[in-house]
Amino acid sequence: MAEVRRQLHSRSNQIVIHLAHLPLAALDFTTLPQQLVNGLFLGSIYALIALGYTMVYGVLKLINFAHGEVFMLGSYGALFTSWMLGFGPGGNAAQGSIFTLALMLLGAMLMSGTAGFIIERFAYRPIRNHPRIASLITAIGLSLLLQYGGQAFLLDGKKQAITSKVSPYNDDIILNLRKPNTEKLHEAQALQPEVDAAKAAFDAQLPFEKSQFELSPKGDALSTALANVKEKQSNLMTAANASAVSLRLPKGKLIMLTTTIILMIALWYLVMKTKMGRAMRAVSVDFNASSLMGINLNTVITFTFILGSVLAGAGAMMYSTFQSAPIDPFSGMAPGVKAFVAAVLGGIGNIPGAVLGAIIMGIAENLVSWSGYSSYRDAIAFVILIGVLLFRPGGLLGSSKVEKV
Amino acid sequence: MEQGGEGLKNFQFGKWIGFRVVSFGVAALLCFLLDRILQGDNQSYTRFLVSLAGIYVTLAVSLNLINGITGQFSIGHAAFYQIGAYTGAVLAGGMFAKLATSQPLLWLVLAAIFGAITAGISGFIVGLPSLRLRGDYLAVVTLGIGEIVNIIAKNQKALGEAYGLAANKIESVFLVSLLAVICIAVSRNLLKTAHGLAFLAVREDEIASSAMGVNVTKIKVTAFVLGSAFAGAAGALYAHTKGFVSPPDFSMDVSFLILTMVVLGGTGSITGSVLAAVVLFIIPEKMRDLKPVMMGAPIGVAIGIIVGVALLKKIQDNYHGPALKRFGMNVGSIAIGIVMAKLMATLLVKIPALQHMINGASFRMPALAVTLVVLMLLRPQGVFAHHEFSWSWVQKLLGRKSVPETEVAA
């Protein structure tokens, strides 16, 4: 007990040291472009989820807390589709094709779209005229229900992953932005014959030794010589690469970004150019007046819910396939929260704002990991959220009108 | 308020203070008796449960002060609970280590006070800027603060990281239940005074109350600080009751559990919060002992619940006849729901695909979530709504006396 207490006492002094010792000096700026690109990829997924939050808030003024769980169901949709295509446990399907990926995308969209429809129809619609707090509590209840109910029913809540074989695009495109130091690189390559000679000499001696760990003096000398020359070469390589900047662009993530952009263009077309889109915009401006003008509110709201959920499902499929995120009943919570923050950051109810906010969120998160605080990466979303709400409650692109009553 | 004009006219200070002292003495005596009853080694599990129930009552009533009485929607109450608990644990391990071992009860009182002070200060820091936000946004920010506090505790070496902190194990049912009583007394007395009316006015309409001269900022911050200070005190007692604190004890789920207690009891009703806290604490504890069931059974129960709720909702929306007939219809639809649940459960377990075994204990959180959703569908104002327990209500129920129904801000 005394031991524990002494430890605790010394711990209370460490808190100051930990905060004072910021490892900002240790930042590696050559990896910064890579982090920004990764942030863009992650942000594009968040954008798909954030669009659901933002559209639902636009028409219904409701924060759909269960949206993260719709996302989670979408990833299960993708997982089950991949199992049906033979990529399940015990299945021996060959490498997947673009067709596999498209089917999985459809499966995920179908599953989350259905979930969104059911949630709207049976949980939100009956209490639409109640105070908003009631719908907020319902949303929290639904999100808990889907998480913990999923834990009981969906594969006992075990973590699952979509096998890497479903995607035929597992290789990377590597762009060299700044070349390594060629002089030092040549020097390192020039050492190669020396390394080979040392290795050959050691290998020739090896049969006469007792084991790798108990070397005779002669074997020991040869081994040391090999280690020395190898270290010299690797030091030269490190020095040569110290200033090199290269970008790895995984092909899968490029597909993901393209799909996201296509979906967003489709959404823009739907909202701006079609009759349903016009109805959605009218409802978001004035709920009651638009119903007086002959817009069927129920249809529009259901459509918006399904649309948002389908986008979340598409995001879920790509998140779990190309970002290789594990799937479990709780896996929707973190992306859901981050996407919500993205929607608020861009100005909730504002579609371009959600995309902008999501990309900022994705980059911010990667930068936090990059600067050595990866254990705080889930906190950054909330820190940004509180900052935005306190200083610019309308968000970056939203109107700065403060909500009254 | 029945005590309004008439009560003030013949107000006697001596009688008032005497009544207060006596009632507080009785409450303390009851807590002491409870403590005496639960002594002994064979009672240790019950003692632990009763202590935790007391802590949850304090938490629910203190959240009710913020959510129900002042109408600020805070869903990150576990943050203040956690701050109090860690304060207690750190101080007991550090500066007050000697006191905690030599004078455990004195230390427990001090720990509760220190926990209340730190949590109150953090409540002030959180509450003051958050006042700019309302409704949904305040909810999200408080949720975020809960998460931030938890993540910080998880990452600080001084706070034991994910492993947690050890505190001296000091059990005292007396102090835990006394804290609950004090919390109830403070909330109740607040509601019975002019100050309390200002809190209720802020809940009903912020702009109108500020036009009537209520200092809205002051009221909101007071509610936040009071509520979080009680949560902090409860946290410090929790740390010593359990002897150990770790971040998962204060996760988002705990916040949601406290919120469910407040909402179920009725936002604004102290009686409701207390009863809901006890019930919602005990039921999940008992559900831990459930046996594994086949997958069909819970699906059948879910179908039964859906049928029952749909019928109840239909009656509530469409039927406006005599109260007795309505009551009968409600009971009938609940009965249909139960029969349906039984029937479907027995039928569905016959299907081979649904014979997969599920651990019954994993239905603790889904049950809580179903409670929340069903309650919002059927009775969004909670079981007790804004009503409070009162003696005149009991007398009226027994047919002794006909008095106007006492009700806080109907």
- DSSP character at residue B68: I
Q: Which residue of A has its CA nearest to B299?
A: A153
Cα distances (Å, whole numbers) of residue B248 to A244, A364, B79, B366: 43, 26, 12, 18
Residue B4: the pLDDT is 45
Measured CA to CA, the distance from residue A110 to residue A131 in angstroms comes to 31
Residue, of A174 and B87, whose pLDDT is higher: B87
Kindly list the residues from chain B whose CB atom is less than 8 angstroms away from the CB atom of residue A152.
298, 358-359, 362-363, 366
Which element (helix H / strand E) includes B377? helix B364-378
- The pLDDT tens digits of the residues spanning B150-161 come to 988 888 877 777
Handedness of CA A46, A48, A50, A52 (dihedral sign): negative
Residue A405: the pLDDT is 37
Q: Is B354 on the interface with A (CB under 8 A)?
A: no
Residue B120: the pLDDT is 93
Measured CA to CA, the distance from residue A263 to residue A135 in angstroms comes to 29
Handedness of CA A74, A77, A83, A85 (dihedral sign): negative
What one-letter code names the amino acid at A87?
A: F
Q: Structure pTM?
A: 0.81
Q: How far is B41 from chain A (nearest CA, A)?
A: 22
Strands B357-358, B244-245: pairing kind: unpaired
Kindly list the residues from chain A whose CB atom is less than 8 angstroms away from the CB atom of residue B135.
132-133, 136, 403
pLDDT score of B56 more than 90: yes
Residue A20: the pLDDT is 46
Q: How many residues does chain A have?
A: 405
Kindly list the residues from chain B whose CB atom is less than 8 angstroms away from the CB atom of residue A390.
129-130, 132-133
Measured CA to CA, the distance from residue B133 to residue B143 in angstroms comes to 13
Residue A304: the pLDDT is 92
Q: Is B207 on the interface with A (CB under 8 A)?
A: yes
Cβ pair A141:B376 closer than 8 A: yes
Residue A26: the pLDDT is 59
Q: Which residue of B has its CA nearest to A10?
A: B158
SS (H, E, C) chain A: CHHHHHHHHHHHHHHHHHHHCCHHHHCCHHHHHHHHHHHHHHHHHHHHHHHHHHHHHHHHCCCCCCHHHHHHHHHHHHHHHHHHHHHCCCCCCCCCCHHHHHHHHHHHHHHHHHHHHHHHHHHHHHHCCCCHHHHHHHHHHHHHHHHHHHHHHCHHHCCECCCHHHCCCCCEEEEEEECCCHHHHHHHHHCHHHHHHHHHHHHHHHHHCCCCCCCCHHHHHHHHHHHHHHHHHHHHHHHHHCCCEEEEEEHHHHHHHHHHHHHHHHHHHHHHHCHHHHHHHHHHHCHHHHHHCCCCHHHHHHHHHHHHHHHHHHHHHHHHHHCCCCECCCCCHHHHHHHHHHHHHHCCCCHHHHHHHHHHHHHHHHHHHHCCCHHHCCHHHHHHHHHHHHHCCCCCCCCCCCCCC
Q: Which of residues 240-279 of B touch A (CB under 8 A)?
A: 253, 256, 259, 263
Residue A181: the pLDDT is 76
Range among A104-108, A337-341, B252-256, B312-316 with highest mean pLDDT value: A104-108
pLDDT score of B5 more than 60: no
Q: Which residue of A has its CA nearest to B377?
A: A127
Confidence band (pLDDT; 50, 70, 90) for B235? very high
Which element (helix H / strand E) includes B294? strand B293-294
Return mean pLDDT, chain B.
82
Cβ pair A148:B135 closer than 8 A: no
pLDDT score of B8 more than 60: no
Q: In a structure prediction context, what are the per-residue pLDDT tens digits for chain A, which is 405 residues long?
A: 555 555 555 544 444 444 445 555 556 777 788 888 889 999 999 999 999 888 888 888 888 889 999 999 999 999 999 998 888 787 777 788 888 899 999 999 999 999 999 999 888 888 888 877 788 888 888 998 998 888 877 877 788 888 888 888 888 888 777 777 777 778 888 888 888 888 888 888 877 777 777 778 888 888 888 888 888 888 888 877 777 777 888 888 898 999 999 999 999 999 889 999 999 989 888 888 888 988 998 999 999 999 999 999 999 999 998 888 889 888 888 888 889 888 888 888 788 888 999 999 999 988 888 887 878 888 888 888 888 887 877 777 776 554 443
Q: Which of residues 18-57 of B touch A (CB under 8 A)?
A: none
Residue A274: the pLDDT is 92
B358 pairs with which residues across the strands?
Answer: B293
Kindly list the residues from chain B whose CB atom is less than 8 angstroms away from the CB atom of residue A14.
157-158
Least confident of A208-217, B8-17, B127-136, B168-177: B8-17
Kindly list the residues from chain B whose CB atom is less than 8 angstroms away from the CB atom of residue A11.
157-160
Residue B2: the pLDDT is 42
Which residue among B259, B363, B368 places its CB closest to the CB of A152? B363
Q: Is B154 on the interface with A (CB under 8 A)?
A: yes
Is residue A56 within 8 Å of A308, Cβ to Cβ?
A: yes
The counts of H helices and E strands in chain B are: 17, 4
Q: Is A212 on the interface with B (CB under 8 A)?
A: no
- The pLDDT tens digits of the residues spanning B339-395 come to 988 888 888 888 877 777 777 777 888 888 888 888 888 888 788 877 777 777 777
Residue, of B307 and B390, whose pLDDT is higher: B307
